[in-house]
Amino acid sequence: METVKHVPVLFDAVMAMLQPRPGGRYLDCTVGSGGHAAGLLQRCAPEGRVLATDADPTAIARVRARFGDHPCLTLRQCWLDEVPALVEALGFAPLDGVLIDLGLSSDQLEDATRGFSFQREGPLDMRFDPTQGMPAWAWLDRVDRVVLARVLREYGEVPNATRVAEAIWRARPIRTTTQLRDAVSAVMRMRRRRIHPATQVFQALRIAINDELRRLREALPALMALLAPGGRIAVIAFHSLEDRIVKQVFRAATRSAAFDYGVAPMAQFRLITRKPITPSPQEIAANPRARSARLRVAERVPVLQEEAR
């Protein structure tokens, strides 16, 4: 087994909330570098099982190298919205815990060939699975400026989205991360902003290229339907759009009459986190990328409680 010193975001909080136990079945839908999966494996041993998935084939290869042929771990490359069908096909349900970490891994951000970060010169790709779909540079070549402005506004909450979209559109062809960064910087100054003006633009394009919000909306209720009574689902979001979807689905799930997303009629849920859990100042100091993380957790009500209602 490869030695890795990666510390995932909100690790202690995730373990405390999911409460993994020996013999349980756990699903890590976005395995990334495998930090959370390592905690789940350690706590559910020796009879438990962990199914870990990721849309990024590089992440799957990295985690396979890290854990080798771990007897309790099953790895599959899979988009988030395809995971529920995979769980059923593998006969892995019912689940005792589900984790979705919606953040980019350090490996993805630091690999210049992936195009996720404007801090490194590289091709403007942004696809989680480089074998599928259209890279960001090709999408920019084809997109209408009105559509581009809408994507920047809705997915990145970019100020003056129309003006920024116009600048990007006129700067085409854009082939690299730094070309996009420079086009954005020309019309969006740092001023008192805490983050670089290109941050929200890169976020918006990445979400659009990978269809992230649709996948999240479809996956959440389907995954919740696979939980065993008493099982918990934990989601780490990194911006308001993701967090809003999680909050809405979780709240709907606490009202069984309104929750018609495919969960069995008797299934009900309770919120474990009324407000999201956020990183401590110490964690943010050690890992600044954790600053915007928000953890929400819901639990499927045990059978006896369902029958009592």
Start-to-end CA distance of the chain, whole Å, equals: 48
Element (H, E) at 73: strand 73-77
The fold adopted by the segment(s) 11-107+212-308 is Rossmann fold (3.40.50)
Quote the pTM value. Answer: 0.91
3-state secondary structure 227-267: EEEEEEEEEEECCHHHHHHHHHHHHHHCCCCCCCCCCCCCC
Please state, in angstroms and rounded to a whole number, the distance separating the CA atoms of residues 166 and 144.
10
Contact between 235 and 294 under an 8 Å Cβ cutoff? The reply is no
**Mean pLDDT, contiguous 10-residue spans, the chain (309 residues):** 62 98 97 96 96 97 96 97 98 98 91 94 97 97 96 94 96 97 86 74 97 97 96 96 96 69 63 96 91 96 56
Tell me how far apart the 2 most distant CA atoms of the chain are, in Å. 63
Taking alpha carbons only, the member of 16, 11, 23 closest to residue 232 is: 16
Please state, in angstroms and rounded to a whole number, the distance separating the CA atoms of residues 217 and 287.
28
DSSP state of 300: E
Per-residue confidence (pLDDT) for residue 303, from 0 to 100:
57
DSSP state of 114: G
Q: How many helices and strands (H and E) does the chain possess?
A: 14, 7
Please state, in angstroms and rounded to a whole number, the distance separating the CA atoms of residues 152 and 165.
7
Coil vs helix vs strand at 75: strand
So what CATH class is 110-210? mainly alpha
Per-residue confidence (pLDDT) for residue 200, from 0 to 100:
93
| Residue type at 212 in one-letter notation | E
Contact between 133 and 209 under an 8 Å Cβ cutoff? The reply is yes
**In the chain, where the domains are located:** 11-107+212-308, 110-210
| Residue type at 45 in one-letter notation | A
